[in-house]
Structure 1
Amino acid sequence: MLLNLLEETRYEKIPVKIYDNDALASRDVAARIATIIRQKQAEGKPAVLGLATGISPIKVYRELIRLHREEGLSFNNVVTFNLDEYYPIQPDAGQSYVRFMKEQLFDHVDIDMGNVNIPDGRLAEKDVPAFCLAYEQKINSYGGIDVQLLGIGRTGHIGFNEPGSAPNSGTRLVTLNELTRRDASKDFGGKENVPTKAITMGIGTIYKAREIILLAWSGKKAAIIRKAVEGEQTSDVPATYLQGSANVQFVTDTEAAAALTRFDTPWLVKDCVWSDTLIKKAVIWLAGRVDKPILKLTEADYNNNGMAQLATAFGPVYHINISIFNQLQHTITGWPGGKPSADDSQRPERAEPAIKRSIVFSPHPDDDVISMGGTFIRLADQGHEVHVAYQTSGNTAVWDEEVLRYIEFAMDFARSQGQDATYLEDLYSSMSAFFKSKQPNQSDTEAIRTVKGLVRKGEAIAGARLAGLPDPRIHFMDLPFYDRSKFDKNVSYEDDITQTMQLLREVKPQQIFTAGDFADPHGTHKVCFEIILEAFNRLRGMGEAWTKDCWIWLYRGAWHEFEIHEIEMAVPLSPQEVIRKRLAIFKHQSQKDVPVFPGDDAREFWVRAEQRTQETARMYNKLGLAEYEAIEAFVRWKFND
């Protein structure tokens, strides 16, 4: 068993402990910390903890709070040193790590705040070097850190040790990477408001801790975890320097570990149990690796690339090739609502009913046309009863100056009609004054949010009409969680779920299309999907008959596409449909040119959408399938029962 595990993990240069989910992992990590605290208490010594901020350690802190409240874990002997802090920043600022640590841990346990150490973002820059030296000396005065918690950024940074950091670096002032600042932009109300610098413990400081635990959750971290664990040590990925420590462990959920070789391409490290899905993934991977169409793969290709076991167990390889080629071919359909009166045994959608009720859920007011605009148009053109439901107002993603422009238009129109524009003039003045004094990340007034929401509503209506929908089938849900979450971190989704249930009952769809693009950097897509799924599951549980005949299709949008082996329905688009989809996206004028939240990608949304679907078509063609202008891809949601 041990030999098998060693073989399976031979690419991994850091031990990785993988859990089904972050809650289980966080409980175990908190238990390890609690054990250290109690051992030190028994010895009459302080427990010295190195603490991290961000999403990754939050559930660890919640479990430590529970252990304090319910099991008597005391923090009266605990000394803490935080990894980092933005510079400059005031400790009471909403983005300050001082405030974060108080809210997430310190205010809820019996720690002596005199034992809490966090880099000081208020210092004059000339005083920072002396502070950093004193920080190091204070850590050393306690004999070093007993256990150091870490997260990992997408640049591979630990603490704020960005690419280029030296492995022996100490606590110091650093300049933040552009990607790090983009990732923080939502918290600060725009990248321009994110500090350009930070004070951070160095890699050398972290390295000296007696135990180092790096936490990583979700598929967003999968790529960087693979680089950190399996890559060569390099300053380009600072976390790789942890490979030299005998005291480090990465703790992840299954999604964050998914890109490790033993999970992503397991045939390279072990004998596999060859499921249909794994065979499909492996053959497509092989075709890409040797740059051949699937039907031209040879036994030598299999044997020379770690797939001899597959060839032996299921060969001859040409039979495997034909099987996978046919599976891919069967995903392609010009009839996303099903082809009437056709044999649907090899098609992704059912032939009957010939005319389906379909509902496209769009988390933001433009996700529908960006992500599946061609399919949306095709469904309407083929006569299906298509509905679109815009789940949130999207008011966060409208520039402030756009609000004033629309109010100016309303004032001018009112005056041109001889009407009193006093109310609008007063509104304009109050909004102008608000914008002049608006602080980074400050929530807009209700009136401003309303105008921004109306801007996006008008654009969404124009886009849906261009796709071929009559107005009664255009639904604006304006789910409450979206605005509520701007003011309250503890958001209930019950009314969002209830509202979604009502719409589903009204439409009784045979098809639901919903965003499965959980790489959305702001998290709205994932929340919207979970609301739909909970609403649908409740209706299923109530025995509503229509739910038995309803299929849920996931689409992805501006952030990334499904892998080819995952795709279950591929809808090819003609050149004319690509242009029509582009025009529908253009209706969202507030998102053109420079959107408020562009993410990492500088391309406009319509360019991303076109190039993404063209790349999917190109990949199908390289595998030996027909050449199309573009392909939109979908995966069907599977219920456990």
Structure 2
Amino acid sequence: MARLNLLEETRFEKLPVTVYKNSKAASLAVAARIATLIKEKQEKGEQAVLGLATGATPVQVYAELVRLHREEGLSFQNVTTFNLDEYYPMQPDSAQSYVTFMNKNLFDHIDIKRENINIPDGTLDLSDIPTYCMEYERKISELGGLDFQLLGIGRTGHIGFNEPGSAPNSGTRLVTLDDLTRRDASRDFGGKENVPTKAITMGIGTIFKAREIILMAWSPVKAEIVKKAVEGEMSSDVPATFLQLSDNVEFVLDEGAASELTRFNTPWLVKDCVWNSKTIKKAVIWLAQTVKKPILKLTEEDYNNHGMAQLATEKGPVYNINIDIFNQLQHTITGWPGGKPNADDSQRPERAVPARKNAIIFSPHPDDDVISMGGTFIRLADQGHNVHVAYQTSGNTAVWDDDVLRYIEFATDFTKSLNLGTEKLEALYNETRRFIAAKKPNQIDTEEIRTIKGLIRKGEAIAGARFAGLPDENIHFQDLPFYDRGKFSKVVSYEDDIVKTMELLQQIKPHQVFAAGDFADPHGTHKVCFDIILEALTRLSKTEEWTKDCWLWLYRGAWHEFEIHEIEMAVPLSPQEVIRKRHAIFKHQSQKDLPVFPGDDAREFWVRAEDRTSETARKYDELGLADYEAIEAFVRWKF
């Protein structure tokens, strides 16, 4: 019976999928399988032939293999490896090369024979590449093929660098990289313009020949493409769908990457559900959006035709369900994000008492506050709350080099005009020009340049916060050490960041904390900043009485919004408030027009922000709620 239930749950899935709680648990399991294969081959006196991947996804697998070697004696003497791909052109000692990546994360820490390591050569002449690729294939074949192939998946659906359009029988070859792939790599190269346009990659046909294929994916960022690869029709538009042809493949996912699969996202379509308040709310909103009706117009027929007959039977009549969900949504809407004084707050998302709250908005970068919740920020200040803003990092990574020269030129001219002496400034200017002229892709700036870039963003943040109505003493620049420290080492301690955050929280004793909950941030800074806040609050909750009355609200930024069923506080904005928010965003001039790291969205940040909040308002309207110009959304985190 259990087997039948599993088959029913996974009936939309066209290949085997195993889901783990988190990426660490999944990585340990995959590393254990690789270790078992190596040991089995050792016992037989045979070579273990591994196909390896690069990128963030397999890093924890490699770390565990290194641990097994150092602490449990796992030997790699009988292992031969073939990497999937390499950028072209690419020098092997470049910081961005996959040779550097593999040495740093695995090969330099184990006893593998160097002659058994094979990584595509990014230094070849173009004319030599076809012969080289044929030789790469021949070497794999001579060893009897790949025993195990490790894969990640790109957001285009590529495996290796087999981009959309790749054939299922393709072999090792030179390919042109998709623009989205290059944008995703831009941070490693200091801008998309520095990312190579081509790569040498093992083909899909070569991958198919492996006796065991594991594709790994982590986080909600990969959820959409994972769903297409697992449940979609086979298409060259999503090369990973060709893995459906293999009997030897398994997808290994964490809960975030699996979240869009039918059995997790809309489980009522595949099995009987245990209906609780969260599931009912999500299902009813999904149904309304699917049939394009307001919630109060949903019928029993709608429920029955869309996998929700069980809900109608157990919790009906359906009109009562509709009214309950409509009321829940209505109660999320408030024009008083700090609570409405002298009002019944039993059906409101925020408390009425105290009438004037201490609130702190944590902004991972110097513009996340106004981009993500600028309207709410302004309204909290307008309604008389004691609002503070804390800019957690300097944001100095995301400033153009040209702006540094422009600001030094301004400072030089300014000091000249006032006869303040310019020798040191001119020396700094000349040194900076020389550095920038010779700067390599993704090279770390000098301390002076990082300071200037940070000051540029600090000035913009002060202007934005002042525009929102804050006095200068309520504007805090934490400049958390992890941000610059992480430029020099991937092994970073966050203890001093946590301590600084605890000290600020103790100073303000907030009733409300607003923090970035957009963990799809492609640079990871939002998640790190949130974890620091959460740890600080958790520690303080053990000794500080005020924490019992402190609520933590999450906002989201320029990448993704909360789903409607997740929203617990919806702050509507009038057309005039949208304009005020836009003007606050405009204070961040270094991020306007074309920021250094725009992500995969060509729109300016203010346009993204307005489109996102107007889209949320539109969804509320379509569900039968009031028609607002825009809505900023929040979810409460119970810590």
Provide TM-score, normalisation by structure 1.
0.99
Task: Name the CA distance, whole Å, in 2 between partners of 1:54 and 1:420.
Answer: 50
Aligned partner of 1:145 in structure 2 is 146
Aligned partner of 1:333 in structure 2 is 334
Task: Name the CA distance, whole Å, in 1 between partners of 2:400 and 2:50.
Answer: 43
Instruction: Structure 2: state its 5+ residue gaps.
Output: none
State the Cα RMSD in Å.
0.6
1:212 aligns with 2:245: no
Aligned partner of 2:183 in structure 1 is 182
Task: Name the CA distance, whole Å, in 2 between partners of 1:292 and 1:164.
Answer: 38
Task: Name the CA distance, whole Å, in 2 between partners of 1:66 and 1:596.
Answer: 37
Q: Secondary structure at the match of 2:331?
A: helix
Aligned residues between the structures: 638
Q: Secondary structure at the match of 2:93?
A: coil
1:412-447 CA distance string (max 9 Å, x none): 111111221121111111111111000000011111
1:180-214 CA distance string (max 9 Å, x none): 00000000000000000000000000001000000
Aligned partner of 1:584 in structure 2 is 584
Q: Secondary structure at the match of 2:402?
A: helix
1:215-265 CA distance string (max 9 Å, x none): 111111111110000000000000000001110000011111000000000
Task: Name the CA distance, whole Å, in 2 between partners of 1:405 and 1:66.
Answer: 49
1:458 aligns with 2:456: no
Aligned partner of 2:22 in structure 1 is 21
Give the CA deviation at 1:62: 1.0
Aligned partner of 1:633 in structure 2 is 633
Aligned partner of 2:444 in structure 1 is 443
Q: Percent identity, aligned pairs only?
A: 76
Q: Secondary structure at the match of 1:520?
A: coil
**Superposed counterparts of 1:203-602, under 5 Å:** 203-541=204-542, 543-602=543-602
Give the CA deviation at 1:518: 0.8
Give the CA deviation at 1:59: 0.9
Task: Name the CA distance, whole Å, in 2 between partners of 1:505 and 1:458.
Answer: 26
| Structure 2 counterpart of 1:99, one-letter code | T
| Structure 1 counterpart of 2:71, one-letter code | E
Aligned partner of 1:98 in structure 2 is 99
Task: Name the CA distance, whole Å, in 2 between partners of 1:69 and 1:434.
Answer: 41
1:609-634 CA distance string (max 9 Å, x none): 11110110010000000011100000
| Structure 2 counterpart of 1:178, one-letter code | D
| Structure 1 counterpart of 2:92, one-letter code | P
Task: Name the CA distance, whole Å, in 1 between partners of 2:560 and 2:220.
Answer: 12
Task: Name the CA distance, whole Å, in 1 between partners of 2:370 and 2:242.
Answer: 44
Aligned partner of 1:160 in structure 2 is 161
Q: Secondary structure at the match of 1:80?
A: strand
Give the CA deviation at 1:67: 1.2
Q: Secondary structure at the match of 1:170?
A: coil
Task: Name the CA distance, whole Å, in 2 between partners of 1:465 and 1:23.
Answer: 43
Structure 1 window deviating more from structure 2 (165-174 vs 34-43): it is: 34-43
Aligned partner of 1:126 in structure 2 is 127
Task: Name the CA distance, whole Å, in 1 between partners of 2:307 and 2:373.
Answer: 37
Give the CA deviation at 1:35: 1.0
Structure 1 window deviating more from structure 2 (327-336 vs 93-102): it is: 93-102
Task: Name the CA distance, whole Å, in 1 between partners of 2:586 and 2:444.
Answer: 28
| Structure 2 counterpart of 1:46, one-letter code | Q
Q: Secondary structure at the match of 2:359?
A: strand
Task: Name the CA distance, whole Å, in 1 between partners of 2:549 and 2:111.
Answer: 55
Task: Name the CA distance, whole Å, in 2 between partners of 1:598 and 1:77.
Answer: 45
Give the CA deviation at 1:25: 1.1
Instruction: Structure 1: state its 5+ residue gaps.
Output: none
| Structure 1 counterpart of 2:464, one-letter code | G
| Structure 2 counterpart of 1:628, one-letter code | Y
